[in-house]
Amino acid sequence: MFERLEAVVPDPILGLMAAFRADPDPHKVDLGVGVYRDERGDTPVLASVRQAESALIARQSTKTYVAPAGNAGFNQAMAQLVLGAAHPALTADRVRSVQAPGGCGALRLGAELIRAAAPDTVVHVSTPTWANHTPLLAGSGLRLESYPYFDPPTGGVQFDAMTAALERLPAGAVVLLHAACHNPTGADLSQAQWRELLALVKRRRLLPFIDMAYQGLGDGLDADAFGPRLFCAELPEVLCAVSCSKNFGLYRERTGSLHLIGESPRAADAALSQLVRLARGIWSMPPDHGAAIVHGILSDESLRGRWLEEVAAMRRRIQGLRLEVVQQLRDYCPQRDFGFIGGQRGMFSFCGITAAQVRALRERHHVYMTDDSRMNIAGLRRENLEYFARAMAQVLVAAPK
Ligand SMILES: Cc1ncc(COP(=O)(O)O)c(C=O)c1O
C-alpha cells in the first residue's frame, strides 16, 4: 500500500531551520521560525510556568484520564481570559469550551464541527493567511476560499476590498479572522474596523471563526481580545480557537481551547455534545499537562500576576524592537519607508522585499526569513539590529528585483 505514496516536498520552514542550524557564521540571524525569543535568542520556560509545573508535579497523584472535553477549570479560565470575566455571553450561559491539543487542534475541531453541521460550507481566509490554516481547515473536508486582506503598499489592511468581498458571501459562509497579531503580516484590524465588520457579519449572517494565537503579544490581553469580545457579545454564533503556545510559552505541551458561542444555552449544549463526540474520534482525550499548568497559573492570584508581567515583558520587547528596527532601517535604507513595521503588531511582519532579495540576505549576510519576506521580529536582538539593517541596505541596492 505505502509503496504507492509519493514523498511530500518538505515544508520550506523546516528547510530554513535546518539551513540556519548548519550555518557556521557567528553573525547569523534567524527570523524564520515563529517562536518568541528573548534578548539572548532563547525561548525560555516562563517562571510562572515553572512554578505552576513544580506545584502540579508535587500534588498530582494520578495520570488517569481527565475527560474528552479536557480540564473543566482550564476551560472556564480560558473562556474568561478570552472574553473577560463578566462577558454577556458567559452571563447568558451561551459559551461552551473544550480543551484541544494547541490552537491547531482547536482549529481542526472547529472545522470538523462546521462540517458536521453543514458539509457544503465554505471557509473564507485572509490573503495571505497562516500557511497551516489550509491543511487544518481543508483537512476536515471543507472548501476554502480567500478574501483580500493585506495591502503591501501600506503594510496595513485593504479594508474596503475585504468588506466588498465579504459583502458578496452567502448566509452561513464562515469567515476566518485573526484576533490580533495577524500571521504572517502583522497587519491588524482597528477597533473601528472590527465594529464595521460586525455590522457586515450580522447583516450577511456569516459565521465568524476567530483564531486567537497571540493574546497579550500585541497591545495587551484585553486590547488583543477586542474583536472576539465584541463579536461574541453581539452575534448569535461564534467559534473561537485559542492557543497557549506563545503567550504561555507552552509550544510543545500542545495546549489550546475551542470556545463556541451558541444562540441559546440549549443550542450550545447540543453543539458541545457534538464537539465531544468529534474530539473522541480524533484524539479522544487532550494532553493534560499544559492545560493543568495554565489552570494553575490563572487560578492563583500571585502566579497570575507573575504571568501577566511575563506576557507584558514579551510584548514590550516586541514593540520596542519594532520601533528600533524602523529607526535602524530609516538610517541605513533611507530610500525606502519601513515605517509600517512600527504600526504592525505581534511577532511577524512582511518586510516587502523580493524572493531574490530574501535569498541574497540569506546567502550573503546569513539572515534567514521565509521567501515571502515574513520576518519574526522577536528573532532580532539589540546587538544585531544594526547588522540586520546594514544587510538589508546592501541587498536593496545590490540584489536583483
Ligand atoms: C495564526 C496561528 N494560529 C494558530 C496557531 C496554533 O499554534 P499551536 O497549535 O502551536 O497552539 C499558530 C501557531 O503558530 C498561529 O500562528
Instruction: Write out pLDDT tens, residues 328-369.
Output: 999 999 999 999 999 999 999 999 999 999 999 999 999 999
Answer yes or no: 213 catalytic.
yes
For the four alpha carbons of 257, 77, 89 and 160, in that order, the dihedral sign comes to negative
pTM of structure: 0.96
Q: Which three cell numbers stand for residue 219?
A: 497591545
Distance (Å, rounded) from C-alpha 78 to C-alpha 69?
13
pLDDT 10s digits, 18-56: 999 999 999 999 999 899 999 999 999 999 999 999 999
Indicate which residue of 69, 89, 130, 173 is catalytic: 130
pLDDT band at 13 (very low <50, low <70, confident <90, very high): confident
Sign of the Cα torsion 100, 106, 110, 112 reads negative
pLDDT at 188 > cutoff 90: yes
Tell me the chain's radius of gyration from C-alpha atoms.
21
Any catalytic annotation for residue 211? yes
Task: Give me ligand 1 centre to Cα 99, in Å.
Answer: 15
Coil, strand or helix: which one is 350?
strand
| pLDDT in the model for residue 400 | 52
Closest to 310 measured CA to CA, from 34, 75, 38:
38
- Alpha-carbon torsion 359, 365, 367, 368, what sign? positive
- The number of the ligand 1 atom at minimal distance from the alpha carbon of 211 is 3
- In the predicted structure, residue 9 carries a pLDDT above the cut 90: no
pLDDT of residue 401: 53
In the set 30, 188, 211, 288, the catalytic residue is 211
Supply the residue whose CA is at minimum distance from atom 7 of ligand 1.
103
The predicted pLDDT at position 32 comes to: 92
Integer Cα distance of 5 and 162 in angstroms: 39
**Stretch 285-309: mean pLDDT:** 98
Separation of first and last alpha carbons in the chain? 46
Residue 237 has pLDDT above 90, yes or no: yes
How many Cα atoms are found within 13 Å in the side-chain-facing hemisphere of 210? 31
Closest CA to 244 of 205, 203, 279, 294: 294
As a whole number, mean pLDDT of residues 116-140 equals 97
pLDDT of res. 11: 82
The residue from 106, 213, 279, 389 that is catalytic is 213
pLDDT at 151 over 80: yes
DSSP state of 3: G
Which residues are CB-neighbours of 367 under 8 A, at least 6 positions away?
A: 28, 29, 31, 361, 388, 391
State the pLDDT confidence band at 324, using cuts at 50, 70 and 90.
very high
CA distances (Å), origin 186, targets 34, 109, 178, 195, 264: 12, 25, 10, 20, 35
Mean pLDDT of 201-213: 98
Ligand 1 atom nearest the C-alpha of 104 is 9
362-400 pLDDT, tens per residue?
Answer: 999 999 999 999 999 999 999 999 999 999 999 998 755
* Residues making up the chain, counted from first to last: 401
How far apart CA 377 and CA 29 sit, in angstroms, is 11
177: its cell numbers: 479572522
SS3 at position 370: coil
Is 256 within 8 Å of 101 (Cβ atoms)?
A: yes
pLDDT tier for residue 185 given thresholds of 50, 70 and 90 = very high
Average pLDDT, the chain: 96
Active site residue 194: no
Mean pLDDT value of segment 259-284: 98
Q: What are phi and psi of 123, to 5 degrees?
A: -100, 130
**pLDDT score recorded for residue 399:** 56
Atom of ligand 1 nearest to the CA of 244: 11
Mean pLDDT for the stretch of residues 259-273 = 98
Closest CA to 23 of 371, 363, 357: 363
Q: Percentage helix, strand, coil, to 5, in the chain?
A: 50, 15, 35
Residue type, 300: D
Place of cell 521565509: 370
Alpha-carbon distances, residue 278 vs 115, 164, 184, 203 (angstroms) = 11, 35, 29, 30
Q: What's the 183 CA to ligand 1 centre distance in angstroms?
A: 9
Cell 535568542 locates to 41
Cα→Cα distances 348→62, 79, 224, 373, Å: 40, 26, 15, 10
**145 beta partners:** 124
